[in-house]
Amino acid sequence: MKEFILSKIENSKMEVMNHNEIRSRRDFNSYKVRFENVFDYEDDVFSHIVVETIVAYRPYPTTSIFVNNFVTNYLIEMDRSDIINSYDLQPFKMLIQSIDRTFIDKLFAICDYHIQGKYERYSRPLYDLYMIWKSSLLNIDRVNEIMLDVIYDRQRFEDRNPSCKKGSHPNLILKEIIETEVYKDDYLNVTDKLIYKSVPYEHCTETIFEIINLGIIPDLIV
C-alpha cells in the first residue's frame, strides 16, 4: 500500500513532505503531499494535502455508491461527454463504509480530540456531524444496532480512543465541548474557510445537543 501511494504521488508530480515518518507494515500512515498552488491563499490554508491510511479497524457496514466530482457534474450539465470520455472522468462505483458508521466515529473522534487537547485544525468533525445529521442519509436504527460494536472495536486501541475506555461518559464530554467552546476559534478561523457550504458554529452545537437528547450514545461506557 505504501509503495503504491508513493508511486501515485510521484506520477502526479507532487512531493511527499514527510518521508521519514512513513513506515511499512504499520496500521496507520499519514502522507503530507505538497502540490503547486496556482491560486492565492490565506495563511490558515496549507498548500498540501494529507492522505491517511488505516487498516486497524473493520470497515462496516459497507455500501456501494457512485463516486463523482464537481468537474464531471459541470461537464454533464454542459453536455460535454467528449471531454469526460477523453479524460476518463466518468463516475465509478466504489465500496465504502456506510455513513451511519462514519457518524459514530466522528462523534467519538471529537471527544477523543478534546480529551487529548487537540483543537487546532480539529474542529472539522463538528461540521461533518451537522451535515450528516441534517441529511436524509442517516439511519438511526442502524446507528443503534452497531453502536456497541463500534465502541468495542475502538476499545482495542484505547490509547487513540480514550472516550471509549470503560468508565468514560461520552455525553458529558460532548456537553463540555459545547459549553466551553474549545473548538469555536478553530471552526471560525479554519474550518469555515474550507467547507463547501458555510454553516454557523451555533448550528453545529445545536446539532450536538439534539444528538445527545436522542439518547443514541451510552451515558457510561462499560
Please identify, among 38, 69, 97, the residue that sits at the C-terminal boundary of a domain.
97
Query: CB–CB of 102/132 below 8 Å?
Result: yes
Residues 39 and 78 in one domain: no
Mapping DSSP to helix (H, G, I), strand (E, B) and coil, where does residue 124 land?
helix
| pLDDT in the model for residue 76 | 95
Query: CB–CB of 125/190 below 8 Å?
Result: no
Residues 203 and 122 in one domain: yes
| pLDDT in the model for residue 45 | 64
Residues 185 and 116 in one domain: yes
Residues 87 and 197 in one domain: no
**Over the chain, what is the mean pLDDT?**
93
Residues 136 and 208 in one domain: yes
Please identify, among 97, 124, 152, the residue that sits at the C-terminal boundary of a domain.
97
The grid coordinates of residue 220 equal 457510561
Residues 47 and 62 in one domain: no
In the chain, the number of structural domains is 3
Residues 217 and 155 in one domain: yes
The domain of 219 spans 99-222
Query: Measured at the alpha carbon of residue 109, what is the angle toward residues 108 and 113, in degrees to the nearest 5?
Result: 120
Please identify, among 35, 65, 97, the residue that sits at the C-terminal boundary of a domain.
97
The separation between CA 86 and the C-alpha centre of its own chain, rounded to angstroms, equals 32
Q: What length is written for the chain? A: 222
Residues 17 and 89 in one domain: no
Summarize pLDDT for 169-213 with one digit per residue, the tens.
999 999 999 999 999 999 999 999 888 889 999 999 999 999 999
